[in-house]
């Protein structure tokens, strides 16, 4: 056999091994995430907070306790996290919010939220108004064309 056939076979075997590794590793991470979600659900509690400020900051600049920063993986320390500065009773604390919660959390208002440790998982209610909805994403060009085509088909029939 020519040398290039052996090269292609070797590359295919290597790619297959990488795919198997990623499949097994992904399954392991999914199980780990499911376990942590169960733990977070077990310890979450409803708390009234006054949101003072919300920003996306790097982990080191967030003002979170050192124990939290040391427990995070090194690659995650450089990423920006949604940090909410809130008053819980007489204490002012820095909390981490879920990405969906962070977008709709109103500033300078009292909210009733579900907290698991220092992580805000969901908004239950807002004093002086309803819970804001997530803003709808703009439709892309192709989605608009599909909608127009569907409308035209409805008009014809």
| Secondary-structure class of domain 40-126 per CATH | mainly beta
pTM above 0.85, yes or no: no
Q: What one-character DSSP code corresponds to residue 32? A: H
* All residues at 6 or more sequence positions from 122 whose CB lies less than 8 Å from its CB, including other chains: 98, 101, 113, 114
Quick: pLDDT tens for 104-135.
Answer: 898 898 999 999 988 999 898 888 777 777 66
What are the domain boundaries of the chain? 40-126
How many CA atoms lie within 13 Å of 105's alpha carbon, on the beta-carbon side? 31
pLDDT (average), residues 49-56? 93
Q: What per-residue confidence (pLDDT) applies to 8?
A: 95
Quick: pLDDT tens for 98-109.
Answer: 988 998 898 898
From 96, 129, 95, select the one nearest 111 (Cα to Cα). 129
| Residue 77 DSSP SS3 | helix
| Strand 45-58 versus strand 110-116 pairing type | antiparallel
């Amino acid at each position: 056999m020519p040398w290039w056939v052996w090269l292609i076979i070797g590359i295919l075997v290597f790619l297959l091994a990488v795919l198997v590794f990623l499949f097994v590793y992904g399954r392991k991470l999914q199980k780990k995430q499911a376990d942590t979600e169960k733990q977070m659900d077990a310890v979450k509690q409803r708390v009234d907070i006054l949101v003072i400020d919300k920003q996306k900051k790097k982990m080191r600049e967030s003002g979170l306790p050192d124990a939290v920063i040391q427990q995070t993986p090194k690659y995650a320390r450089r990423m920006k996290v949604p940090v909410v500065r809130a008053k819980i009773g007489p204490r002012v604390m820095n909390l981490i919010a879920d990405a969906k919660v962070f977008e709709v959390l109103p500033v300078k208002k009292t909210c009733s939220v579900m907290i698991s440790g220092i992580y805000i998982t969901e908004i239950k209610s807002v004093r002086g108004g309803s819970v804001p909805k997530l803003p709808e994403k703009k439709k892309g060009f192709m989605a608009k064309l599909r909608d127009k085509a569907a409308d035209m088909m409805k008009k014809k029939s």
